[in-house]
Amino acid sequence: MRSIEAIAQALASGATTSRMLIEDSLARIADPAGEGARAFIKVHAEQARAMADAADALRKVGRAPGRFAGIPIALKDLFDIAGEPTPAGSAVLADAPAATANAPVVARMLAAGFIPMGRVNMTEFAFSGLGINPHYGTPASPWDRASGRIPGGSSSGTGVAVADGMAAAGLGTDTGGSCRIPAAFCGIVGYKPTARRVPITGVLPLAPSLDSVGPLTPTVGCSAIIDAILAGEAVVAPDAASLDGLRLAVPENMVLDGMDATVAAAFERALTRLSAAGAKVTRVRFAAFDAIPAVNAKGGFAASEAYAWHRALLASKGNQYDPRIRVRIARGEGMSAADYLDLLQARAGIVAGFDAETAAYDAVVMPTVPIVAARIADLDDEREYNRVNMLVLRNTALGNFLDRCSISLPCHEAGQAPVGLMLTGETMGDTRLFAIARAVEAVVSPVVA
């Protein structure tokens, strides 16, 4: 992996061309020894080559649309791309009517000159944190490929495509952790913005109350670049915050439960390094974390809002769904209007309480996922699938419910199993969180050029 900034500099200096970048990406996707056949549902090879040649020609005469023009990216299968169906990793929508326009987030990436390599795999309808897809196959995490480990979901193809260099970066969505979980399992950075900053029009929904669109990238700086483009903001690389005196809260309730030895060691090592760099690490219990499970007990926003969108499709084509996804969506059928209104009211109160609880801290720090990536084969068992899925989503989903921005960055030692460190900032505090994350990255993450 190379950072977007490094690639942009290579393009500007003539050290590489967009066509060279695209051909390298296509070769990695087509490599029979790699995961391209499972990471990508559809490859836009000839379109990408044509766009690359155009970017190179424009750059040669000083008319490139921007410094990122010609850089390859991956698009999760739930974004509208004009002229194509939007299956969202499903079989039931594979032949759906084509989208008539690009989703705004896709249009913004195209306007900045990025080149989509194609549509990448995902958990069907984005409703699982594991990344398993029975329709298109499951791409394996870069770690321990011989054993076949889950990539994390639901943005599974995006995570693997970026980690394996099939694209310089990719777009995912995050409703309960779907950018951050694949990032943690694939050893890259995943960002969940404050949801309202980035439009979700033209994105097939899971739960609009929680849905957000974010990048998966090699570095924090790369994520900041793409997040700014997605939000329609000026691209300004944030300076790293000072770690000296930075106030970091480590929750003691819920989020550290069930950690395996690898994650526990990596997390404690990261905290030790941050403390040595001057950060003030405080262990604290958050009442909000204890309140959320009971509020979500009937299925929460994900089940209720997904069922509202899927109910007609379930009635006509329910037998074509992944049964493990269908049963999750169907939970929403049992929620009443009163249940949903109670959920809205309870969320507002919990968010207000958490805002007060975190006012004294610059960020909340926890493991992104408490375990390393499980073996795909072990999750054929329904009980184990459910157990691991709930555990994988537990920590990340807190940030969605609490309407926060949140980022996962690698904190493992090079060559070891990927482990993600998650930083959660204030609502609409995205710029500040990127500055903090850049400082933390310099202390805890494997180096990316």
Amino acid at 35: E
Q: Would you give the distance in Å from CA 149 to the centre of its chain? A: 18
Element (H, E) at 165: none
* Percent of the chain whose predicted confidence (pLDDT) is above 70: 100
76 assigned to active site: yes
Q: What are residue 199's phi and psi, to 5 degrees?
A: -65, 145
What is the Cβ-side half-sphere exposure of residue 442, based on CA atoms within 13 angstroms?
Answer: 12
Catalytic residue among 3, 18, 76, 156: 76
Mean pLDDT of 410-425: 97
Is this structure's pTM higher than 0.85?
yes
Planar angle of CA 197, 234, 247, nearest 5 degrees: 65
pLDDT of residue 177: 98
Catalytic residue among 18, 156, 178, 445: 178
pLDDT tens column, 162-198 = 999 999 999 999 999 999 999 999 999 999 999 999 9
pLDDT of residue 446: 77
pLDDT tens column, 183-238 = 999 999 999 999 999 999 999 999 999 999 999 999 999 999 999 999 999 999 88
Planar angle of CA 373, 378, 379, nearest 5 degrees: 80
178 assigned to active site: yes
- Measured distance CA(28)–CA(162) in Å, rounded: 11
154 assigned to active site: yes
Mean pLDDT of 300-314: 98
Say whether 217 sits in a helix, a strand or coil. strand
Mean pLDDT of 346-359: 98
205, 305 in Cβ contact below 8 A?
yes
Name the β-bridge partners of 190.
216, 408
- Measured distance CA(215)–CA(314) in Å, rounded: 30
pLDDT tens column, 85-127 = 999 999 999 999 999 999 999 999 999 999 999 999 999 999 9
Q: Which of 312, 318, 306 is nearest to 128 (CA)?
A: 306
Mean pLDDT of 330-356: 98
pLDDT tens column, 127-149 = 999 999 999 999 999 999 999 99
- Measured distance CA(369)–CA(246) in Å, rounded: 23
3-state percent breakdown (helix, strand, coil) of the chain, nearest 5: 45, 15, 40
Count the Cβ atoms, other than its own, within 10 Å of residue 400. 26
Q: And the tokens for 183?
A: 């990032």
pLDDT tens column, 242-296 = 999 999 999 999 999 999 999 999 999 999 999 999 999 999 999 999 999 999 9
448 pLDDT tier (thresholds 50, 70, 90): low
pLDDT of residue 238: 86
Average pLDDT over the chain, rounded to an integer: 97
* Percent of the chain whose predicted confidence (pLDDT) is above 90: 98
115, 168 in Cβ contact below 8 A?
no
pLDDT exceeds cutoff 80 at 447: no
From residue 104, give the alpha-carbon distance in Å to each of 85, 200, 207, 214, 412: 16, 8, 18, 13, 35
Q: And the tokens for 65?
A: 């649309």
pLDDT of residue 449: 53
121 exposure class (CB count in 10 Å sphere: 0-12, 13-18, 19+): buried
Catalytic residue among 154, 209, 406, 445: 154
Element (H, E) at 363: strand 363-367
What's the CATH code, domain 4-230? 3.90.1300.10
Name every residue whose Cβ is closer than 8 Å to that of residue 362 and which is 6 or more positions away in sequence: 241, 246, 247, 248, 425, 432, 436
395, 286 in Cβ contact below 8 A?
no
Name every residue whose Cβ is closer than 8 Å to that of residue 375 and which is 6 or more positions away in sequence: 147, 148, 149, 150
Whether residue 154 is preceded by a cis peptide bond, meaning omega within 30 degrees of 0, is yes
- Measured distance CA(246)–CA(237) in Å, rounded: 20
From residue 415, give the alpha-carbon distance in Å to each of 174, 255, 305: 27, 25, 41
